[in-house]
Amino acid sequence: MASALSADTIARVKATVPALAEHGEQITLAMYARLFQDAHIKALFNHANQASGAQPKALARAVLAYAQNIDNLGVVLPVVERIAQKHVGYHILAEHYPFVAAALLGAIKEVLGDAASEEILYAWGEAYWFLADILIDREAKLRAEIEAVDGGWTGWRDFVVAEKIRESAVITSFVLRPADGKPVIPHQPGQYLTFRLDLPDAAGEKRNYSISAGPDGERYRISVKREDLGAASRFLHDQLRIGDILQATPPAGDFFLAAQPARPVVLLSGGVGLTPMVSMLEHIARVHPGLEAHFVHGALNSGVHALDNHVRALAKEHGGVTVTTFYSEPLAGDRAGETHDLDGFITLDWLKANTPFADADFYLCGPKPFLRAFVSGLAMAGVAVDRIHYEFFGPADEALAA
């Protein structure tokens, strides 16, 4: 791996920033078109993100961010961990990187034409492999760490659907046990599993779902919201049966509860974003009896709110956990103080008044507008960046761009 980028490469890559700002999405669309000519590379991707346009847009922003900060990689490298974790989940290997390099450089030449000189392409090749080598090295270490733990594995492993539990009108839980009957690696509370699903119209589709149970070395649980336009979630809800097999890679993700929490924690979620928070809460109830924790959740109403009884039972068992639920669109039978705690939306003012705002670690998960509001809102309200931890719904490259 190169120890540093050359000054010439840095200058040439930075010189492409205006072109990337104008033509970035054209380049990433052309790159994916080239990549997907190879069936085994195409099979590595989550094509829901492709169909929605999220991935090409996210990658265009990420490439631009990399170019803008090529002389200050301290801005970019902290997000490498998140991307490396995603790659482990999707079982992306070192052997796949040359395909991306060829497609990216070819797309730059295709879109920029004569402006993409040989010198520019050489510089971008050097910049690509500099970052790729960092990722390849980190991914290899992650896989070695996983395999070294009892229950760890590499690649795809068969799991049996042991239970299927309807949690609300839109959320169903699936308890998964390894088909070989052997242990599973205890996940970090907050991590996700990546699945390879044979959908009716798309074999081998990849999806990530947060683990919604605490680690026990024997099983995993995911709790999935059924989306009317979501082919994977409809498949899981409507067609998957107890006894069926799902394939998954090991738990991954850099969003998880600290092993030894040093401060009180606030678990803040919206909608189905509560799933990693339930995993954290289960672990807190079992392992951290003295930890002060606040479980704060926003849902539309009781019809879609999942796992509330379970959460409240965990809080009662622990004794130092408070639970507060907000309903933004209560049903006719919903009553604040009975089915939920408060009407409306979670606000920063409420958090300031009702949680250890100045001292706590905040863990957040929810839809993009929810994260956008609270990640920036907490920081602007004075919460230190190292006390704000969040799970990002969407392509990993979008986090890099952010």
Q: Which amino acid is at 252?
A: A
Answer whether 308's CB lies under 8 Å from 278's CB: no
How many Å apart are CA 389 and CA 313, to the nearest integer? 25
Query: Would you say how long the chain is, in residues?
Result: 402
Q: Which residues are catalytic?
A: 97, 139
How many Å apart are CA 215 and CA 187, to the nearest integer? 6
151: left (phi over 0), alpha (psi -120 to 50) or beta: left
How many Å apart are CA 299 and CA 61, to the nearest integer? 31
